[in-house]
């Protein structure tokens, strides 16, 4: 099988602006459409200072965020904490969460969803 079926170059993936996010461009690195992943999705989020992900929840999926670059303030249900590069956080299904970039310049975060989010409106709740 060809390498292209397994290797994804971040620069070759088209970015998109996710719903309920500001100052954010996401690139779906691993998903159903490019490598055929059925049980997870990996997204690279590039964000600027300010509220990136407004408060929301994912009723049917879990989410992990690994901060690659920059700093952020995160809330998950009634917990709040600051993240720096190398930190990783978990958002359980149904947990209300938000992600605010607190550093200057570009912040980069690797996001993993299981099952895949795929920007499906039924996978997000703003309540």
Tokens linked to 33: 């459409």
Mean of all residue pLDDT scores within the chain? 91
Task: Convert the pLDDT of each residue in 17-52 to its tens digit.
Answer: 888 888 899 999 999 999 999 999 999 999 999 777
- Residue, of 90 and 55, whose pLDDT is higher: 90
Q: Tell me how far apart the 2 most distant CA atoms of the chain are, in Å.
A: 47
Domains of the chain with bracketed CATH = 24-114 (2.60.120.10)
Phi-psi category of residue 86: left, alpha or beta, with phi > 0 → left and psi -120 to 50 → alpha: left
Task: Convert the pLDDT of each residue in 76-90 to its tens digit.
Answer: 999 999 999 999 999
Q: Which residues pair with 50 in a beta bridge?
A: 101
pLDDT above 70: residue 127: no
């Amino acid at each position: 099988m060809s390498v292209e079926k397994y290797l994804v170059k971040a620069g070759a993936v088209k970015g998109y602006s996710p719903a309920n996010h500001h100052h954010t461009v996401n690139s779906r690195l691993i998903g159903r459409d490019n490598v055929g992943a059925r049980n997870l999705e990996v997204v690279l989020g590039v964000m600027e200072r300010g509220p990136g992900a407004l408060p929301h929840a994912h009723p049917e999926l879990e989410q992990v965020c690994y901060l690659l670059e920059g700093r952020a303030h995160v809330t998950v249900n009634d917990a709040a904490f600051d993240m720096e590069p190398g930190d990783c956080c978990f958002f359980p299904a149904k947990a209300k969460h938000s992600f605010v970039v607190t550093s200057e310049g570009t912040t980069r975060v690797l996001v993993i969803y299981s099952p895949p989010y795929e920007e499906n409106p039924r996978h997000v709740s703003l309540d």
